[in-house]
Structure 1
């Protein structure tokens, strides 16, 4: 089975760290493809669209060579792209859908981004001191105090493939305005959410669970970047969920 991995706001495939390799070790019969959103990673020179459907179209074009059907694991804004994709895809194209700490217009704004976080996020996006910015992003998205080596790794990513302020704000605008269609994209999907998320309230995932009768698993204390904080927990949830079929 082929899997597509999508990251979130201003983040690229390198920000997954060792997580894709952990997935390959846990599921040796599966193939995992990390894909960058436009304006990030290998596409950092490209302009980012300012709406989720256009971002989804760009991602679909990137993965046209991957055999269908495939599955998607997506984090945060990547989950919005995956939701839009699942609603637009031909029947049977997407086999499994796993969304981590994502949100949508079905939830109120104060749950999609916690009160007080908006000004902090905007300041971070405009900040020019890359090392301090990446350290503060980690402090916001992880519930663990980031070690120096990890901050250095994220700093190097931004030095090599910087996300422009324009692309950052266009992505933020796309995420803030996204509301899925009413139809249920998949009969079943797995929602993973962190109760320690300082950025997005876990009730945004609960809203999707209630609306479409999907499966929701809650981590008791991880932050928004759940693959960073507890990758083994994600793998356990995936393994249990996939073994049901």
Structure 2
């Protein structure tokens, strides 16, 4: 099985940290492909579209060489891209969908991004001192103790492949306007959310469970970056959900 991994707002493949290796160890028969959104990672020099549909089209262009069907694991805004992809995919193109701490237009805006997060995120996007900005992003997205080495690693990522302020705003605009089509794109998907998420309220995932009867699993205290805070828990939920694993 070929998995596509998608990150969120202004984040890239390197921000997954050790999580892809942990996935490969847990599912050695599968292949995991880390795909960057336009304007981030290896595509940091490209312009990001300001719609989720435009971002999705750029993502799909990147993976045409990978054999179908795909399964998608996506975090935060990456989940919106994955949802839009699922709703526009050809029959049989997507096999499994795992959405982590994502939000959609079915929920009110104050749940899609909690009110206390808005001013912090806007200040962070505009902040020019890179080390403190990346450290503060980690403090917002994680509920665990942050080693200095992790802050330095994220600083190094931004130094090597900087996300422009314009691309950050385009991604933020795309995320804020996105609303899925009303019909579920598949019979089931796995929704993973954190009750301790200080950016996206876990009720956004619960709303999808209510509408489409998808599978929802909640972590009691992890932060928005669930793969960083609780990778073992996350992998266990995926293993229990996948048929025959």
Mapped to 2, the partners of 1:244 and 1:134 lie a distance apart of 40
Q: Secondary structure at the match of 2:163?
A: coil
CA deviation string 1:196-237 (max 9, x = no partner): 001010000001111111000000100000000000001100
| TM-score normalised by structure 1 residue count | 0.99
Structure 1 match to 2:197:
197
Q: Is 1:240 aligned with 2:213?
A: no
1:23 has 2:2 as partner: no
Match of 1:178 in 2: 178
Q: How does 1:14-163 map onto structure 2 within 5 Å?
A: 14-163=14-163
Q: Deviations over 1:182-209 (max 9, x none)?
A: 1111111000000000101000000111
Distance across 2 between alignment mates of 1:197 and 1:244: 31
Distance 1:180 1:94 in 2: 17
Cα distance in 2 between the residues matched to 1:13 and 1:87: 24
Whole-angstrom CA distance in 1 between matches of 2:101 and 2:156? 26
The offset of 1:145, in angstroms, is 2.6
**CA deviation map 1:59-83 (0-9, x unaligned):** 0000001101110000000000000
Q: Deviations over 1:76-99 (max 9, x none)?
A: 000000000000001111000000
TM-score scaled by structure 2? 0.99
Give, in angstroms, the shift of residue 244 of structure 1: 5.7
Distance 1:164 1:117 in 2: 21
Distance in structure 2 (CA, Å) of the matches to 1:145 and 1:180: 35
In structure 2, C-alpha distance between the alignment counterparts of 1:139 and 1:145, rounded to whole Å: 9
Mapped partners of 1:209, 1:79: distance in 2: 15
1:145 is paired with a residue of what secondary structure? coil
Q: Given the alignment of the two structures, is residue 224 of structure 1 paired with residue 216 of structure 2, yes or no?
A: no
CA distance in 2, matches of 1:243, 1:27: 13
State the alpha-carbon separation in 2 of the partners of residues 128 and 145 from structure 1.
24
**Regions of 4+ moved over 4 Å:** none
For this pair of structures, how many residues does the alignment match? 245
Structure 1 portions without partners, runs of 5+:
none
- Where do 5+ consecutive residues of structure 2 fail to align? none
Matches within 5 A, 1:209-220: 209-220=209-220
Give the root-mean-square deviation of aligned CA atoms: 0.8
